[in-house]
Amino acid sequence: MKTTFLHVPLLLLIVAWPLAGFASQSADQFSPRIVSTSPYEVARQINRARKRAAELDLLWKSLSVDEKGFEGCGGFCRARIFRHELDGRPGAEVVVMTTGPFELSRYLIFTPAGKQWKLLGYIDHDFNKYEMSRHRVEHTGKNAWLVIRGQEGSGSGFALYGETWYQVSPLGVKPVLSYPSDGHTYPGSLGVSREFKVKRIGPGAKTITLSYTVTYTASMFDQRATSKRFINTHRLDYKWDKPTDEFVIDTQKSEVSAGEIAAIANIQSEEEDDSAKKIGRTSFYSEAKSFAGHGYEVFLKNNVTVLMKIATGRNKGAKDWLRHFLSECDDMPEKRILVEALK
């Protein structure tokens, strides 16, 4: 982990209340099938229904797809066509992205089947309160993956977005990786706020390397009305697992655990068990509280090295700030080490 310590102007923070929920919705039980309607006709019917506020129940029945809120558009549905090479065979797949009322989005994936069309599967994301889900195509070697980013949680001073990678093949559409992609937690003027975002780095045949940048802003206890900002970078590596046909964490290469990323993303709540927690298709573990104590514990756990430099340094103002900060933290090994160093 790489840590940078900067001084920046005071930031205005607001109270945050975390909402749990990292799970893109997908139709895992759907079996690919030849359909009588082309993806272009599907898009036309949906857009026509938007103009006329017509019902779409017959369309979904013809595709053997669950309506799930799309049965009546009420003038709010919209369909767009995208073409991507996804299954590794000649001929691009057609993705029909449909947005509907009540913050719904649906992705229907079609592939040519002679003079007909085969519906390989569909993906629903049913929580798009502040930002509609979107998709892109990522490549690892010769493999193409459909990636969908969507909102996973929101609240006062809290936001969470996640990404899910899907494998598209003649056998269907399968989620193979999920992770938090960006978000923030602002627990108030007396807490430590944090923002994070992820980007993929490096090529790989069937490996994925993610780099998380986490910015903590500690504005409390600073009589000079300035704010201390700490910037961390974390690397998380995944490798393809043949027995399960999905990406799993490469513990030998990763610099951080998925549980620590989950705590930073504020996925866990104070009441939840710290043992294995299934989120999407990944199990997350954490020993640090993500929200309790105004976010102090997660900040302390991930910044103990730079805080030790303050504790053993000569800057009296910074040491007074750290001493006051530690007095508000719950008892944990990192706190005890720093308190001893301050003596």
The pLDDT-based confidence of 1 (bands split at 50, 70, 90) is: low
The pLDDT-based confidence of 329 (bands split at 50, 70, 90) is: confident
- Has residue 283 got a pLDDT over 60? no
User: Which residue in 170, 172, 168, 112 sits closest to 139, CA to CA?
Assistant: 168
- The answer to whether 196 and 214 are in contact (CB under 8 A) is yes
Q: pLDDT > 90: what percent of the chain? A: 42
- For residue range 70-97, what is the model confidence (pLDDT) as tens digits? 777 767 789 999 999 999 888 899 999 9
Residue with the larger pLDDT of the pair 296 and 35: 35
The pLDDT-based confidence of 286 (bands split at 50, 70, 90) is: very low
Residue 293 confidence (pLDDT) = 45
The pLDDT-based confidence of 23 (bands split at 50, 70, 90) is: very low
CB atoms within 10 A of CB 94: 21
Residue 30 confidence (pLDDT) = 85
Distance set, CA 88 to CA 111, 145, 292 (Å): 11, 10, 47
Helix (H) or strand (E) holding 261: helix 258-265
d(CA 195, CA 197): 7
User: Which residue in 241, 219, 238 sits closest to 230, CA to CA?
Assistant: 219
Residue with the larger pLDDT of the pair 326 and 38: 38
Residue 196 confidence (pLDDT) = 95
Residue 17 confidence (pLDDT) = 29
What mean pLDDT is predicted for residues 101-111?
89
- Has residue 54 got a pLDDT over 80? no
- For residue range 299-319, what is the model confidence (pLDDT) as tens digits? 888 888 889 999 999 988 888
d(CA 110, CA 133): 19
What mean pLDDT is predicted for residues 216-230?
63
Residue 100 confidence (pLDDT) = 83
d(CA 217, CA 203): 32
User: Which residue in 165, 131, 160 sits closest to 148, CA to CA?
Assistant: 165
Residue with the larger pLDDT of the pair 116 and 15: 116
Could you list the beta-strand ranges (E) of 103-142. 104-113, 116-125, 134-140
- The answer to whether 303 and 272 are in contact (CB under 8 A) is no
> What is the value of pTM for the model shown?
0.82
First-to-final CA distance of the chain? 27
Residue 20 confidence (pLDDT) = 34
- For residue range 126-183, what is the model confidence (pLDDT) as tens digits? 888 888 899 999 999 889 999 999 998 887 788 899 999 999 999 999 999 999 999 9
Residue 225 confidence (pLDDT) = 36
- Has residue 233 got a pLDDT over 70? yes
